Structure 1
Amino acid sequence: MEVIFIFISILNSIFVFYFALYFFYTLKIYLLAEESSKGPDKVPSKDISVVVPAHNVESVIEKSIQSVLDQENVRIPKIVIVDDNSNASTKNNIRKVKTWDKRIGIIKLSDGKPSKAKALLIGIKRTSTEFVALLDADTILDKKAISRTFNYLLDKKKSYATCLIDPVKQKGIIYQLICYDRLFRQRILQVVRNYFSCSNLPGCFGIFNKRTFIKTLENGFLEDLISTYRISTKGDEVLLLKQVLAYEHERTNLKTLIFQRIRWTIGNIHTSPFFYRTLLKVGFVKKVIFFSYPLLWYIIHYWLVFLLVMSVVYPSLISKYLIMAIGYSGLVLLSSVVIKEKIYGNPISFLLHIVVFPFCVVIALFMALYTLAEKRSFFFTKESLFARS
């Protein structure tokens, strides 16, 4: 047991280091307004197409497409909706929105194998502009989202850019419990990683150079993780405009949250070889920052559950658990206040996120491992494991 207690102390120390690192740089970036980035409200010098992969999003796709049509200060010659093996309700809504504007085109995929990366590749190749905006069908844009993010990309002369993405505001304790995770990932993890040129390529909204983005997508399953690793190993980066200009609908109950996390966990396991190869190719500082992402997004939840359960048997570990819970709580709470906009102030949903959310992530881990065991492969090449349904 002594060895286990030493291991616990070491891992706790690593977490405390990262808590302090992210807390310091979050305050440095926001409070001192360092690297302030405000996109100019001007019409970008180039046209841009929009690609919207859609799979069973009948309840929100109309709002999503309307937010594209409402964009200001930007020329959008074509909007491509890729119907990725959607259900009947979604198909009906897609046909409906097509009548709204002559720029809207539809690509229908009906091979029974929904895959976002595949849908994106097909949709992007149907556009003719040099730059393309990706928008998930459950994401709603601010009226200046595309123009500001696009201008930021053009001004910096880079190939990839995104903005801060908040959850759509809705009532409900469970929904808010889930939303704290996005606030933490976007306003803390993504912003600090951007400070070190290590931003993640988001799956729900981004603007890209079409030619280079296609190369990052080819032969890959997950459009965000593998693309991020490929971009980083080539010495490039994803720019982050630090303005909240997009809003994504989060899962509305714990069941759908767990199923989402199962897919993400499988994806993380599959892409782990890419992750470790990336660590070998980047410099020391980027190694430290890249390693923080799985540590603070996944492993922290496993660790909180482990310490809480172990403290039942070994009460002396409760202090270790409280240190981790307080450190994580501090960063999550910070993510809700760094941008001067009241998001969620419900203490019940906040406490539930700290206590209940980690158990959901752990359940998803075991179910993901079971799924992989059933498929008899941990590092696989089967697209069926990435089905969106």
Structure 2
Amino acid sequence: MENISNVWMFIIFIICLIFPVYHMIHALLIIIKKPYYQKAKRVLSEKPISILVPCYNEESIIKTTILGIDRLNYKNYEYILINDGSNDHTFEIMEQLLDLEIQKRGANCNLEFSAVKGVYRSKRNPNVIVIDKFNGGKADALNAGISYSSNELIITLDADSILDEKALSIINCAFVDPNLIAAGGTVHVLQGRRFKHGSLIPTLNVKSIVKFQIAEYLRGFYIYKASLAKANALSIISGAFGVFKKDVLIKVGGYRKTIGEDIDITLKVQHYKNQRVGLKVAYIPEAICYTEVPETWKGLYNQRVRWQKAFIDCTVLYLKDFMSTLLKSPLSFFFMIDALFVGVICSFITVISFILLIFFSENAHYLFFFLTLYVVTNFLYNLVGVIISYYYRNSFGKRDFLNILMVNLFDLIAFRLFTLFCTLSGTIQYFVNKEGWNKVARTGRKYHIEQEGEFM
């Protein structure tokens, strides 16, 4: 009986390693193509773009957000800040920094959202619009932004996200393709950036908890999202940075009020794409934004539990569709087998199996073998993420390169155990209290001051 259990554990363990190896190889094949930032110089006309930023109680970060607008190297855009019924000083700070004046502007589509109190334009930057509305949640605020936007290409950002100055030009280049209806960009950690000679460069002069997230974001975007997009299976366009055709968002009914609105809207758009011939959903690694990440373990735990609840919520909602197309659709296959089975179900199985091996098995060499294979494969996975990031001009200094290697090693020893706990906890909590939002508190840091005025 023990031998049978060991064999089953070995099979499950190998399945869990197959997908990381696949994603590594897939991601390395992608960098063969010419980057968008090299093509962007040849695209002369700027597509009109609407940038939507939902804001709820963002007084600690909103100044950094607004100052980041001035760094955009693009002219044909409107930047729409949606104040979703904040009960702090978010709107007052917007008024002070932007010098707002009332505008006569109405909704141009029939998406549902809470009542709007007023629409304003900045006197200091006419490209900036502020929508002041009653609270309805993030999805509700995004629906309002879509309805009041003027342009056919929409970017969605979090309030703590700042676009790289070249991001809009790269997106403009990518959407020359008329069949591209949605795309995700790369999200880097804002705390892991410093200004030097007018540019944001990576740094590891941050807290350990932030270092772990810097490494995690590198492999999460440059390997995992890149590979899924290449396989036509991208299931999450990050809420921190996504690009959509406005008419598609309207046709799919806009955002649904849920704890995982970014997963939900991606799946709705993918379903829309799959019903038509030739349409595309992509990942654009060269288009970058910077987002603030939690700096406390409690804040990070709350964020990851919310992410896990969102994933399970969409799994339950779309389960019937996924099962009916499991062997026909790459999206369904990778969502159910890679994300759900390997990412969630096998997490429970792994914990139980290791407990059994430690306390009830006399074959300790199995445990050593599994751990060794796990460490080697996942360290290589982490390393490939760092290497690919260099290709996309995310170049660490020599000292920081050695530092990121050490971070990736300790990631396997400690941080992965933490994220495993969050996965287990979030899954269980969903079935106990799936409505819990666990909004992560902002750090309150003044990035525009920390960058010694260069941000301005």
Q: TM-score if structure 1 supplies the norm length?
A: 0.85
The structure 2 residue matched to 1:385, chosen from 436, 449, 456, is: 436
For 1:101-140, what aligned pairs fall within 5 Å after superposition?
101-111=125-135, 115-140=137-162
State the shift of 1:330 in Å: 1.5
**Residue identity in the other structure for 2:261:** E
| Matched residue, 2:246 | 210
| Matched residue, 1:359 | 417
| Matched residue, 2:263 | 225
Cα gap change, 1:225 to 1:350, in 2 (>3 Å): same
| Matched residue, 1:323 | 373
Instruction: Give yes or no for contact 1:138–1:248 (8 Å, CA) kept in 2.
Output: yes
State the shift of 1:57 in Å: 3.4
Cα gap change, 1:269 to 1:69, in 2 (>3 Å): same
Cα gap change, 1:296 to 1:6, in 2 (>3 Å): closer
1:342 matched to 2:379: no
Instruction: Give yes or no for contact 2:344–2:424 (8 Å, CA) kept in 1.
Output: no
The structure 2 residue matched to 1:153, chosen from 151, 166, 175, is: 175
Q: Which runs of 5 or more residues in structure 1 are unaligned?
A: 379-383
| Matched residue, 2:309 | 266
State the shift of 1:159 in Å: 1.6
Structure number with larger C-alpha Rg? 2
**Alignment RMSD (CA, Å):** 2.9
The structure 2 residue matched to 1:175, chosen from 207, 210, 215, is: 210
Cα gap change, 1:219 to 1:59, in 2 (>3 Å): closer
Instruction: After superposing the two structures, state which structure 1 stretch, 238-247 or 360-369, moved more.
Output: 360-369
| Cα distance in structure 2, aligned partners of 1:361 and 1:237 | 32
State the shift of 1:263 in Å: 0.7
For 1:1-389, what aligned pairs fall within 5 Å after superposition?
2=2, 3-30=4-31, 33-34=32-33, 36-38=35-37, 39-41=39-41, 42-76=43-77, 78-99=78-99, 100-111=124-135, 115-168=137-190, 169=192, 171-199=206-234, 200-214=236-250, 215=252, 217-221=254-258, 222-234=260-272, 235=274, 236-276=279-319, 277-278=321-322, 280-281=324-325, 283=328, 285-290=330-335, 291-294=337-340, 309-313=355-359, 314=361, 315=364, 316-340=366-390, 341-343=394-396, 345=401, 346=403, 347-369=405-427, 371-375=429-433, 384-386=435-437, 388=439
State the shift of 1:212 in Å: 1.1
Instruction: After superposing the two structures, state which structure 1 stretch, 355-364 or 131-140, moved more.
Output: 355-364
State the shift of 1:150 in Å: 2.6
| Cα distance in structure 1, aligned partners of 2:317 and 2:439 | 22
State the shift of 1:387 in Å: 6.3
State the shift of 1:156 in Å: 4.4
State the shift of 1:317 in Å: 1.9
1:29-65 Cα offsets, whole Å, 9 max, x none, are 22xx136444413454531221111234334332333
Instruction: After superposing the two structures, state which structure 1 stretch, 328-337 or 233-242, moved more.
Output: 233-242
| Cα distance in structure 2, aligned partners of 1:334 and 1:298 | 24
**Residue identity in the other structure for 1:81:** L
Structure with greater helix share of residues = 1
**Residue identity in the other structure for 1:357:** F
Instruction: Give yes or no for contact 1:64–1:141 (8 Å, CA) kept in 2.
Output: no
Cα gap change, 1:306 to 1:37, in 2 (>3 Å): farther
Cα gap change, 1:374 to 1:239, in 2 (>3 Å): closer
Alignment partner of 2:299: what SS? helix
Structure 1 residue runs of 4+, over 4 Å off?
284-288, 294-311
Cα gap change, 1:58 to 1:327, in 2 (>3 Å): farther
Alignment partner of 2:19: what SS? helix
User: Number of aligned pairs?
Assistant: 377
| Cα distance in structure 2, aligned partners of 1:304 and 1:44 | 53
| Cα distance in structure 1, aligned partners of 2:296 and 2:375 | 23
